[in-house]
Structures are given as C-alpha cells and as structure tokens.
Amino acid sequence: MKRDFLSLPLRGRLGGGGERSGASSALHAPSPPLTSPQGKGTRFALALLLLLLSAFAPAQSATRQIHFRAIDITVDPHGQPLAAYQFEFIAPQNVKLVGVEGGEQPAFAKAPYYDTKALSHDRVIVAALSTDAALPNTATRVARLHLEVIGDTDPNYQLKLVVAGDKSAKAIDAAAGWKPSNIH
C-alpha cells in the first residue's frame, strides 16, 4: 500500500521516520484559552474600551484632513534675461513637499534641481540654469511646487530668492513671488 506524503501524521514528517521530536510535540500542545477566567466581564470591559476609543477617532480625523495644493513660483528679472535662479522655500511642519515641476517658458520647462531628501522636510532649495538663446526677461513661472497640507488652515509659506543671474553668470536684480496654482 502506497501512502501519500500529505496523509502521513504530522509528527512523522517533522521528526523524521515516525519518532517524536521536541518541535513536533510542541506543535500538538493545546492552545491557551483566548478568554480569562472572568470570561464575560473581561469581554465587556474590552468592548467598552473599544467603544470609547472609537468615539474619539472621528474627531481626530476631522482635524487631520489631508489636502494637495500646488503653488507657482515666479521670478521677475526686471527686463534682464534670466538664465539662472536659486530660491529657498520654507513651509510649516504641517506641509510636506511632494513634487517639483518646471516652469512655463521653454528655458525653464525642465524640472529644476533640488535635494530629494528635502522633500520630507519643511525647507527646500531649488535651482535651475538655462543655456537657451531665448531667455525670459519678464516675470515668469519658473517652478511649480506640489504640496501635501494636513489640516484646514492655509499655511504661511516663506520664499527667499537667493540669487538670479544672466547668461554671463553675473548676478542680476530680480524679485521672486508665489501664488496658488490654477491647476485642478
């Protein structure tokens, strides 16, 4: 009579050849009871505790709503050709930077450089350089920042233009600003 491996007793497969080992006998030990000797009283207390904890859960989730927003960063080079820029963006702790995309002009359409580790912090430095022949000389969107905002209040962002430069690598007088993006 040929026996299937799966039909052999468990102890024979684990211990090898039908002998019992410590591992196989531990597998056959009875499980401890899932309730304590008090039984119904313990279950009632546990159910009451879960009910109380769940009563507070909706209040916490209502105040911790997550929204995604995009803001446009603009640089105005005051009539001079803008070939490079660097800015620092600071947001409060309830804001996380989740993405950066390029600007509207072909010279800055490619995503700018930034520290990817800074995406999870409240501060990021963003920079770009263009060698295009056609450089913008009026206010232009140079980047769009995508943000995850926790809560319902509008955060207070800080933007500092560190430097702006022309095609000969000379610093130029420029101003930077931000506004909510009109993408949906």
pLDDT, tens only, 88-121: 999 988 888 889 999 999 999 999 999 877 767 7
For the chain, the average pLDDT equals 78
Which architecture, in CATH terms, is 66-180? Sandwich (2.60)
pLDDT value at residue 129: 96
Instruction: Provide the pLDDT confidence category of residue 123 given band limits of 50, 70 and 90.
Output: confident
Q: Which residue has the higher pLDDT, 52 or 146?
A: 146
3-state secondary structure of 173: coil
The overall pTM is greater than 0.95: no
pLDDT value at residue 21: 43
With b for 16 or more beta-carbon neighbours within 10 A and e for fewer, the 110-128 pattern comes to eebebeeeeeeebebebbb
Average pLDDT over residues 117-142: 90
Question: Rounded to an integer, what distance in angstroms lies between the CA atom of residue 66 and that of residue 159?
Answer: 23
pLDDT value at residue 151: 87
pLDDT value at residue 23: 47
